[in-house]
A and B are shown apart, each in its own frame.
Chain A
Amino acid sequence: MMPLGISLSAPAAVTDFDQVLAAAQAAEAAGFDFLCLPERPGLDPIALAAALAAGTERIGLVPSCSAPFHQPYNLARRLGSIDHISQGRFGWALQPAPPLPEIEHFAHLPMPASDIAVPRAAELAGIVAALWDSWDDDAFLRDKASGMYFDRAKFHWLNHEGAHYRVRGPLDTARPPQGRPPMMVLGGTTIAHDLACAAAEILHSLPRHLADARATRAGLQRGLAEQGRSADALCILAGIAPTSADVQPGPLRVSETPAMIAALMGEWRDTGAVDGFIIHLSDSPEAITQVAMDLMPALRERGLRDALPPRSPLRDRLGLHAAPSRYAA
């Protein structure tokens, strides 16, 4: 299957939770794999993701967060909690360097200079993933008969001492249902691509045309190889938007008929330029339903989508390999 997500990208602030919930439910009913919740003014995307998890059943939820504003321990615990709350439907997008106005709310914190933003964000992401492995999948016996809740041999102190962070661990949350909820990076800049190659499993790319998408993939494959990662370790999803959609700039605008959009998607995917797509739409449930009604039948006809995708962890829906613990034998 070709992974297909929605990004709620209206240029306005997010003020109405009921509307976002309706949009998430519409995207779920239409069979999309996941919903991206970008950093925008208004309702905090991490709180939104937790709340939406309670109001949906199948769709993946991918909020954004800015690296310098988060402590790795807190971040691991909060994001891991959403994977528990959503039962394995969680992913997250990490922004290595936030835009300037945001920084001024955190003005007493040392902000990373641009040349260390990526290593620092990569260290943060590495700690988060390591903390998630604090408890083995079978650490919790929860056996009333013996009275044993967990096995002391099956948790791990992290004792991380890096260039930017010191964290002892272990995390006070069980390993997330997905083991490692996938991390996304929003592409388009060199630092984002560097971070993606170092630590991400999804790249939300913003190509301008097919040749651009191909070139991006080739560059990323070199970057992945340099990091000792396999070419399929990173799922590349291109952002597109219908011309009529009222969304923030960035995604490729597509104005053709549903059949032509489906053909374009098929071509991009079959030539290996991308693995799938993220459609940028406003936060309107009607717009989501309309796009789905137009597009899904054409994609099914081309064998790019199933009628109704199975209820499964986000990693599976994205075609990512299982993520065993680093401590697994």
Chain B
Amino acid sequence: MTAPTLKIENLKLGFKNWAGVSNVLHGISLHIKKGERVALVGESGSGKSVTARIVLGMLQQLKTARISGSVEFEGINLETLKPASRHALRGTRMSMIFQDPTSSLNPVYTIFALFKEVLARAEPGITSERARQRAIEALADVAINEPERVLDSYSFQLSGGMNQRVMIAMALANNPALLLADEPGTALDVTVQAQTLKLMSELVEKHQTSVLFISHNLGVVREFADRVYVIYKGNIVEQGATAELFANPQHPYTRALLSAVPRITGGGIPDLDDDPGQFLAPLVAHPSYSEKERLA
């Protein structure tokens, strides 16, 4: 049995401030098997983005961050790596897609300049010719039919949807093992978001890329993810295979979430009246999932 691509165990995070430490993650555990697409769903501020940032090692350098627990990537505990080796994983074995593609692409450099920089992460000293050729191939994968024009453009000259395709192409260009998609394309309009997600979905399937799909859109999660973790205030409250979790939510928070969402449109996370008494009830792990776990 090969090691899971990502295995987070009892991850805790707090931020030190003048009043002491405010805890943001209270010991979350999750894992993603090779080629699996796992969603992390929760309302804004529940700790989704910080989880992704810890996986990339970006919060560790923050002096105020207090982190404990373990993060294993392809069977290696990342804490045991030297900072340089850990840094070397970014943009090569792990990559990330963001909420707003247009503002995630530096406005003073062409798409090609950025693309080359990304490619150089895996292939230092890559020549411009080779980078261009590889970028064109990568753009073809995301169904961009004028790659030359796109490469010579700046992000502000392209549409949001085009930038999102570029971002997806960049994220997958170095064939990473893990893709962290933090509310990808939430800033885009709904149809464009759906198109680009479909593209991303096909590509990760083709390359057997594992995905941590962060979202607060239950409709999108339902379509895209194999498995779902529901996070509430830094606690995973329910986990299970997508179909099962949606069909048979057990945890009070998940139930409240699902019953509040219009079934057909399946929009974003609704505004729930907070009810920590119930919502902080213990984790519910769906049995089928636990069985699979035992087999794994």
**A in complex with B:** no
The chain B residues found within 8 Å of chain A, CB to CB, are: none
